[in-house]
């Protein structure tokens, strides 16, 4: 039996990890919104958790792009003497707290889940309540770069260690149609110039291989072509966002086809 004409499925959008390349998510969100494709459920890992939290709190893609362009590395990262990492993460936490107005995840304008990894047990930790800025700080803790975040008795690191693009999470939230955005599917073409680059590229390779062997797949995958950009340098932001727009625009007809199939009950 056909579903009501014009009715939209509950779309779940899973935003993946990728460091600075994750700003491509902003372009994806902009194009989807322009075509009336609004996610009913949002989940993110690492940089994807940051963009998902800001969007769920009410920031528009345009606002996020302006922030991404104008906020430099010094605004996001606070370096420290190496212990369990080179970055304390307090600046990131405070920026996210300011931009989300300190809101709890359960108070957001749309359902949100943020993924982190318990460093001691290897378990996936999914935040669906509590301060969004705490969850993003945990999810973005790239191993070896950020100091792991202690929260609720757990020692937490980057959600991408176990769930790079949290497709299963949005499906479990109740999504009828899932869209995943992977900003690190292909090997990076960017030069490796620093210790940060070495660590990030090593972690990226491991996470990519894990994701490649996962059995949970999205109905639609959006893959911005951002491999030529550094994951650690806060440069080329506008170009990265534009690649997100291009990739999303290419997939809009496929998303619309999936929506039509859903309406027909296929």
Strands 149-151 and 154-158: antiparallel
Q: At what angle do helices 47-56 and 61-70 cross, to 10 degrees?
A: 130
Matching residue, tokens 């369990």? 84
**Concatenated DSSP letters for 85-108?**
-SB--HHHHHHHHHHTTT-BGGGS
Which member of 45, 46, 49, 188 is catalytic?
46
Residues 6+ apart with CB under 8 A from 150: 156
Q: At what angle do helices 237-263 and 61-70 cross, to 10 degrees?
A: 160
- 158 catalytic residue (yes or no): yes
Which member of 57, 118, 141, 158 is catalytic?
158
- 230 catalytic residue (yes or no): no
According to DSSP, residue 197 is labeled: H
Question: Which residues are identified as catalytic?
Answer: 46, 158
């Amino acid at each position: 039996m056909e579903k009501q004409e014009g009715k939209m499925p509950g779309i779940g959008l899973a935003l993946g990890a990728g460091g600075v390349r994750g700003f491509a998510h902003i372009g994806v969100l902009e194009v989807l919104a322009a075509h009336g494709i609004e996610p009913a459920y949002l989940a993110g890992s690492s940089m994807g958790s940051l963009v998902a939290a800001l969007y769920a709190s009410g920031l528009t893609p345009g606002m996020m792009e302006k922030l991404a362009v104008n906020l430099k590395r010094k605004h996001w990262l606070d370096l420290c003497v190496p212990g369990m990492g080179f970055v304390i993460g307090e600046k990131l936490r405070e920026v996210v707290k300011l931009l989300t107005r300190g809101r709890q995840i359960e108070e957001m304008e749309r359902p949100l889940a943020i993924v982190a990894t318990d460093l001691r047990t290897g378990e996936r930790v999914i935040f669906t309540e509590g301060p969004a800025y705490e969850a993003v700080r945990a999810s973005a803790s790239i191993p070896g770069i950020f100091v792991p975040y202690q929260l609720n008795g757990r020692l937490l690191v980057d959600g991408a260690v176990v769930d790079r693009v949290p497709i299963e999470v949005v499906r479990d939230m109740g999504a009828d149609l899932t869209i995943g955005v992977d900003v690190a599917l292909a090997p990076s073409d960017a030069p490796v110039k620093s210790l940060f680059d070495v660590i990030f590229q090593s972690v990226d390779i491991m996470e990519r291989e894990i994701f490649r062997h996962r059995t949970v797949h999205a109905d639609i995958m959006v893959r911005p072509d951002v491999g030529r950009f550094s994951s650690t340098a806060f440069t080329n932001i506008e170009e990265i966002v534009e690649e997100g727009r291009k990739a999303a625009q290419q997939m809009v007809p496929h998303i619309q086809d999936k929506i039509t199939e859903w309406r027909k009950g296929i």
